[in-house]
């Protein structure tokens, strides 16, 4: 089993103030213990860096941490597209061992010209990118788009050589076509009609859904009947992840929720490890 979305908030001289993420005080050892408790073999460790976040976990530290547990942790890197020379930095991070980009959190339209430069670099370097999507410009961080995900669709069409792993409330709210209030991050109503996120997963080979965090959990739990068919039918496009939700709030267990769906063994294999294994070089 592989968790596609984890963090550490405390490593060496990095200290999070706790304002942006509950995992701000999670140490490397706490993360590995969390994986052990769940029986998870490996995890993607994401860097955090953008002008919109008060605290950062530099990619260099992610690489160091992964070197301490090379058989358990998989390094991704993060760059800020509003800084000069980020393309060169991205290439350096790949040379240092990073196999993907993320968590990308710059608060810009998802199809902004600077983001397009990042996607082109991902294509050249053959790196997948994991993007956090916000629900509105008032959010602290995250890429921006409308509820129909029209900007993302343009990106997917123009950058068919890049694999996009989508995450966050701005993505998962669009599992439903009926969005009465787009400012609500975790809608509770049933999914009567599939939304734009489902459409994109069905129609674009280069987009995947990261099931982690409260956003991914809520997308499934709000309508487990819909979720069962969704997970089974699109099992090759969905990735198991936690964003440490189960560590910090054990009542939110993505694994337990997925088991509740009673999927086929092949669907579980896809979601738990085979999809991420197809996306990154392990």
Q: Over the stretch 194-239, which tens digit does the pLDDT of each residue have?
A: 999 999 999 999 999 999 999 999 999 999 999 999 999 999 999 9
User: What digits encode the pLDDT tens for the residues 100-131?
Assistant: 999 999 999 999 999 999 999 999 999 999 99
Q: What is the mean pLDDT of residues 13-27?
A: 66
Q: Is the pLDDT of residue 15 over 70?
A: no
Does the pLDDT value for residue 23 go beyond 90? Answer: no
Instruction: Note the pLDDT of residue 136.
Output: 92
pLDDT of residue 31: 95
pLDDT band at 96 (very low <50, low <70, confident <90, very high): very high
Give the range among 4-18, 185-199, 255-269 with minimum mean pLDDT: 4-18
The number of beta carbons lying within 10 Å of the beta carbon of residue 137 is 10
Question: What is the pLDDT at residue 174?
Answer: 97
pLDDT higher than threshold 70 for residue 20: no
Domain ranges of the chain: 2-279
Q: How far is 196 from 215, CA to CA, in rounded Å? A: 15
Residues facing residue 210 across a β-bridge: 239
Q: How confident is the model at residue 176 (pLDDT cuts 50, 70, 90)?
A: very high
**Mean predicted confidence (pLDDT) in 170-189:** 93
pLDDT at 56: 80
**DSSP per-residue letters across 213-271:** HHHHHHHHHTTHHHHHHHHHHTGGGEE---TTHHHH-TT--HHHHHHHT---HHHHHII
CA 134 to mean position of chain CA atoms: 12
The fold adopted by the segment(s) 2-279 is TIM Barrel (3.20.20)
Would you state the pLDDT for residue 19? 53
Question: What's the rounded mean pLDDT across residues 55-81?
Answer: 94
Look at residue 77 and tell me whether its pLDDT is greater than 90: yes
Q: Give the angle subtended at the CA of 235 by the CAs of 39 and 219, to the nearest 5°.
A: 85
Cα–Cα dist 159/157, whole Å: 6
Which pTM was predicted? 0.96
Neighbours of 268 (CB within 10 A): 19
pLDDT at 11 over 80: no
Name residues whose C-beta falls within 8 Å of residue 108's C-beta, 6 or more positions apart in sequence: 81, 82, 114, 115, 143, 144
Look at 248 and 101; give whichever has higher pLDDT.
Answer: 101
């Amino acid at each position: 089993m592989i968790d596609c979305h984890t963090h550490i908030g405390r490593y060496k001289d990095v200290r999070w103030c706790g304002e942006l993420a509950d995992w701000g005080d999670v140490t490397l050892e706490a993360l590995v213990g969390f994986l052990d408790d769940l029986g998870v073999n490996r995890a993607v460790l994401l860097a955090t860096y953008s002008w919109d976040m008060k605290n950062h976990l530099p990619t260099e530290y992610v690489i160091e941490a992964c070197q301490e547990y090379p058989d358990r942790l998989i390094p991704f890197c993060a760059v800020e597209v509003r800084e000069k020379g980020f393309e060169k930095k991205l290439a350096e991070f790949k040379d240092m061992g990073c196999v993907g980009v993320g968590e990308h959190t710059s608060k810009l339209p998802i199809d902004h010209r600077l983001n397009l430069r990042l996607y082109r670099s991902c294509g050249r370097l053959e790196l997948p990118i994991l993007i956090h999507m916000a629900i509105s410009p008032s959010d602290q961080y995250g890429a921006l788009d409308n509820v129909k995900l029209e900007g993302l669709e343009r990106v997917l069409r123009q950058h068919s050589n890049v694999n996009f792993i989508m995450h966050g409330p701005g993505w998962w709210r669009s599992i439903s076509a009926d969005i009465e209030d787009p400012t609500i991050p975790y809608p509770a109503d049933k999914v009567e009609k599939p939304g734009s996120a489902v459409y994109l997963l069905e129609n674009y080979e280069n987009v995947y859904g990261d099931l982690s965090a409260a956003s991914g959990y809520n997308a499934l739990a709000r309508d487990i009947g819909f979720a069962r068919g969704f997970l089974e039918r699109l099992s090759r496009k969905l990735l198991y992840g936690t964003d440490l939700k189960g560590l910090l709030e054990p009542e939110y267990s993505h694994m337990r929720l997925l088991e509740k769906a009673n999927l086929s063994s092949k669907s579980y294999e896809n979601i738990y490890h085979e999809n991420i294994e197809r996306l990154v070089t392990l």
